[in-house]
Amino acid sequence: MRDYVVRRLVLMVPTLLGVSLFIFLIMRVIPGDVARLIATRGGEATASEEDIAGIRNKLGLNDPLPVQYLKFLGGIVTLNVGDSLWSERPVLEELKEKLPLTIELALLSILVSLVIAIPVGVLSAVRQDTWVDYLFRIVTIGGLAMPNFWIAMLMILGLSLYLRWSPPLGYTDLFADPFKNLQQLIWPALALGYRLSAIVSRMTRSTVLEVLREDYVRTARAKGLRERAVLYRHALKNALLPVVTLSGIQLGGLLGGTVVMEKIFTLPGMGRFLVDSIDFRDYPSVQTIVVMMAFIFASINLLIDLLYAWLNPRIRYS
């Protein structure tokens, strides 16, 4: 197991290098000049070419591209990626402020989705082709058909019209006021969780149906085990393997930031920070965020693989 983990960690290095090179080149190819944006204050003022050239020289944008890339890699390795070109604050400080919100919202959304999806998927499989199964199919297909922002807007509209109450917007730190923090994040988490649960519940239903037809399940039933014991002790763990993979991928995507949801509920998370940084051509911020997202995805995939051995003892890593 230890050797397997070490190999996977080593394999992360070329992956992260490839991602860093890709985003570095993409940011230099897209139209726009961050020096001109800074000099003109986002287009609200005028600036001479001398002023723009001075800013480019100050930011190191006149250096050859290999030199700029090596400086970027050195900053990643030493955890000193420099300052934001726009806000002039250290990028890691910006991430330190915005990442906790995104992590909390992502974990809460995944928790909501699993609480909904696993019981719904299992009941749909156990009650296949009954009215329960058809009802849950309608609910899950509705979740698949409606995008997150539409669910969120319907939620806000329904609360405002029928309960005369609107969800509190903005963000309060969890440790400063846990109750208010939950009030602010539960609604975007419900909107995201319902959409994610629709996908996970369909996967759960399919895998449970497949496992229930296996020989070892029929053998367990033939031994006289109760149906609940057959389901939870023999079928569910094996059926959850694809569900764990899917949930891990969803969690990685959420940690990258949910831009639209953060806009709707005015949450200062990673998604808004990334979009704003792209708009301002803020090279250090965008590059650091993308590399961090790639690292998160790779780490979550590793954790998922390790969970397989717990869910299915027949799986061994050598």
Tens-digit pLDDT profile for residues 273-307: 888 888 888 888 888 988 988 888 888 888 887 77
Tell me: the pLDDT tens digits for 174-198? Answer: 888 888 888 888 888 888 888 888 8
pLDDT over threshold 70, residue 140? yes
Position 106 confidence tier, pLDDT thresholds 50, 70, 90: confident
pLDDT reading at 20 higher than 80: yes
pLDDT of residue 312: 64
Q: Which two tokens stand for residue 191?
A: 């909107």
What tens digit of pLDDT does each residue of 196-250 get?
Answer: 888 888 888 888 888 877 777 777 778 777 777 777 777 777 777 788 888 888 8
Question: Which one has a higher pLDDT value, 39 or 193?
Answer: 193
Q: Average pLDDT, stretch 53-82?
A: 84
Instruction: State the pLDDT at residue 256.
Output: 63
Q: Is 80 exceeded by the pLDDT of residue 4? A: no
Residue type for 220, please? A
Q: In the chain, where are the structural domains located?
A: 100-311
- Decide if pLDDT at 45 tops 70: no
Is residue 258 exposed (0-12), middle (13-18) or buried (19+ Cβ within 10 Å)?
Answer: buried
Whole-angstrom CA distances from 192 to 14, 135, 200 are 32, 21, 12
Q: What share of the chain is helix, strand, coil (3-state, %, to 5)?
A: 75, 0, 25
The domain over range 100-311 is classified in CATH as 2.40.110.10: no
pLDDT category at 42 given cuts 50, 70, 90 is low
Least confident of 7-21, 132-146, 244-258, 304-318: 304-318
pLDDT value for 22: 92
**Dihedral of CA 70/72/76/81: which sign?**
positive
pLDDT at 316: 63
Question: For a pLDDT cut of 70, what percent of the chain falls above it?
Answer: 94
Identify the pLDDT of residue 44.
65
Give the model's pLDDT for residue 311: 65
pLDDT at 313: 61
